[in-house]
Structure 1
């Protein structure tokens, strides 16, 4: 994985700055109004929000053009204040949207962050979620001083559990009734986490 960003200055350590992360066959590019994908970023985002698996496990507030535009504005605002890094996973050859990887501070002062991801159906089964989660985590450790990175997923989301383990996030426990998707009951979640001191290993393909 390569990045277009150099490490932050010491006084700026825990600010998430825009970057492009290169996975070889895919690029992680900052979400925002300026993102260029075939067919337009707003239609691509609306289409992703209607994917059944994304809607089930990672529902997006982007189910119509106005909501998608508001989502992109929030991404731009978070990049501007350095509190969250939302990356569109795009095909390196043609720029097609493949998915999403994000990291945000849970406790910025203490260096604790959380990471998440989703992929469109056509991009699944080739280890891309594992590689994207690994890349975003490594980037946050190396450029923003992340100390502990946590990963949560709903109990029953077995593919996400496998991604977490392959990306080096060991299971730490079950959080009971910890998250509520709109219109649903509270969900139990698995907590996975890794430390900055944990070794990074290149994930095998497919994953």
Structure 2
């Protein structure tokens, strides 16, 4: 059966090339693919109380971290998702993670996710890295819509979404189960043609 519409992002658009590294507009942050050498920092990130609170994952060993990194590489090849580690552009210190957690190339839709290591919080790392990723996804890959969902109790993520140009669209009631029970989820989105985000100005 033939389709009435063509894919927004043709299959193979990503997997036909290596996953790129992305530089923020202020040239202060570099988003690069995860490497096996990052496993110790990745494992340590999941010992942080804030990251643990909002994550569905527990990571208790270096081997588990290495497998997560290997799976991230497979995600890119299979065009199911894409993971980046956020670093200082100069010196390469690891600061956090930003991702297209899942992707639907046919519809041109993806969901963004991020976290920042404790020592890097308070410096705009999350909104700047999210803006860098979403600019690339919308302007270079040609995704049509990027979504972002977070617990209604996670006020910090709400601020990040707003600064990165993701419009608040509503509440998904009792939509995701965390370790402490069901949470309402705030839904934000950035689409083709939206105004430039605050974190991309100045």
Q: What is the CA–CA distance in structure 2 between the aligned matches of 1:41 and 1:107, rounded to whole Å?
A: 28
How many residue pairs end up in the alignment?
189
C-alpha change, 1:13 and 1:143, in structure 2 (3 Å) is farther
2:72 pairs with one of 65, 75, 96: 75
**Structure-1-length-normalised TM-score:** 0.83
Q: What is the CA–CA distance in structure 2 between the aligned matches of 1:179 and 1:32, rounded to whole Å?
A: 30
Map Cα deviations across residues 33-70 of structure 1 (whole Å, 9 max, x no partner).
3xxxxxx4111111111111111113544331121111
1:42 pairs with one of 14, 39, 42: 39
Alignment check: 8 A CA contact 2:83 2:97 kept = yes
Q: Name 1:191's counterpart in structure 2.
A: 187
**Structure-2-length-normalised TM-score:** 0.85
- 1:118 paired with 2:115, answer yes
Q: Name 1:7's counterpart in structure 2.
A: none
How much has 1:201 moved relative to structure 2?
3.4
Alignment check: 8 A CA contact 1:14 1:146 kept = no
In terms of mean alpha carbon deviation, does 158-167 or 56-65 score higher?
56-65
- 1:31 paired with 2:37, answer no
Q: CA RMSD in A?
A: 2.1
- 3-state SS of the aligned residue for 2:199? coil
Q: Structure 2 stretches of 5 or more lacking a match?
A: 1-8
1:172 pairs with one of 169, 185, 192: 169
Q: What is the CA–CA distance in structure 1 between the aligned matches of 2:200 and 2:89, rounded to whole Å?
A: 19
Q: What is the CA–CA distance in structure 1 between the aligned matches of 2:107 and 2:148, rounded to whole Å?
A: 17
Q: Name 1:148's counterpart in structure 2.
A: 145
- 1:129 paired with 2:126, answer yes
How much has 1:11 moved relative to structure 2?
4.8
Alignment check: 8 A CA contact 2:163 2:197 kept = no
Q: What is the CA–CA distance in structure 2 between the aligned matches of 1:202 and 1:171, rounded to whole Å?
A: 15
How much has 1:107 moved relative to structure 2?
2.8
Q: Structure 1 stretches of 5 or more lacking a match?
A: 1-9, 34-39
How much has 1:155 moved relative to structure 2?
1.1
Find runs of 4+ consecutive structure 1 residues off by over 6 angstroms: none
How much has 1:186 moved relative to structure 2?
2.2
- 3-state SS of the aligned residue for 1:191? strand
Alignment check: 8 A CA contact 1:13 1:144 kept = no
